[in-house]
A and B are shown apart, each in its own frame.
Chain A
Amino acid sequence: MKNIFLEFQVSKRTRAKVDKQRKELRHQRAQSNMRVAPSKRRRRLEDDRDEENELRMDMIHTESHFNFVKMHLPSHFSDHIRQFGNIPMYSTDFGELAHKEQIKDGWRRSNKNDVERQILHSYGRQHAIRMRLLNLNSLRRRGANPGDDVLGYLDKTTSTVSTPAPRGRILKGRRDDLSDVLDFCKVFGISLDRICLELIRYSQHNLPTERRLPEEPAILQLLPVELLTQLEIPVLAFQETDVYDIHRA
């Protein structure tokens, strides 16, 4: 990698060193070439140029490095996320964009009289129209067909749109190597007494009296059990009402 980007990241200091060395070398050679016969001079000049290039590349290789800020910063990303959260949260992009969209565009659209008020109104109108468009799209996705009187329709319908019913949890990945509570204890290395105690505790705390599990260990240990390996839990996506992320445990 170092060699690929070498030409692009040679520091000013290294470049200056190379130039200085080249000048000194040329000066020395110019003096020695004065004594060489013109017929041999051309050949000698070519040799000197090759040697000069080699020296230059050697110096660049020894002097160059990747120890600069842009390459160093990514090494701190994981620590930064641990301490402060996600990086885009600290981005200034949104603020800069808002300066353009909310202020500069508003200024250009105004007639330059009472500008502050016009800028605020301009952005307020844009925002209101965007919200209306989003509402319309949302209604269309749900199968509604808004008529000509869109605004009136929106006012009537937005409050009556019901949220979709939450989806249930799904168990997957059945294992066939156990059939009852006794097998379950063996697989997980838990004592039978412990699991019976937990089953009774669960039953007493969570189930109505008439639907409780039997409390005799002899019956409990023979209850059929099916072991599964995956649980899918639908969780509403951030700021969404009908989009679910599936968490797989």
Chain B
Amino acid sequence: MYGALRGRLLAKLVALFKIMDCSQDTVRRLAGVQMLSPVNSGRPSDIHSLVMVQLREDAREFTLVDIGTILGLAHLIPEGDRRWLVNSRIDLRTFNKIY
């Protein structure tokens, strides 16, 4: 699924919130996200060997997911209009150390 992303999909985080269901007295921890879709079925490009994702016009503006499904932050490099490269070569800790 999603090629080299192996079942993981990137999304832009819009909101974090808790919602309480009073009838059952339970709290749900949710995140509102805008899903990005992989370009070329998630196959890494021949040029830079990185997967590219894009914000599609027809995508839903707001999708709700449980915060438990968020795996971590991804480093995206802007590449043209509404397109990003997924940096899978250098981890966030090293990136933050350098820049």
> Could you tell me which A residues sit within 8 Å of B by CB distance?
81-86, 89, 169, 171, 181, 184, 188, 190, 194-195, 198-199, 201-202, 206, 211, 213-214, 223-231, 233, 235, 237-238, 245, 247-249
Contact = CB atoms under 8 A, between A and B. Distances in A.
B46 interface: no
B70 A169 contact: yes
Nearest to A222: B22
A227 to B, nearest CB: 5
The binding surface of chain A is classed by DSSP as: mixed
Counting contact residues on chain B (CB < 8 A from A), the size range is 35 or more
15 contacts: A86-B90, A86-B94, A171-B67, A181-B19, A190-B62, A206-B66, A213-B19, A214-B21, A226-B18, A231-B67, A238-B93, A245-B92, A245-B93, A248-B73, A249-B13
Nearest to B68: A169
B64 A233 contact: no
Contact of A249 (B28, B70, B98): B70
Contacts of A225: 17-20
Contact of B93 (A89, A169, A213, A237): A237
A245 to B, nearest CB: 6
Interface of B: 13-24, 26, 28-32, 47-48, 60-68, 70-73, 77, 85, 89-94, 98
Nearest to B48: A83
A248 B93 CA distance: 12
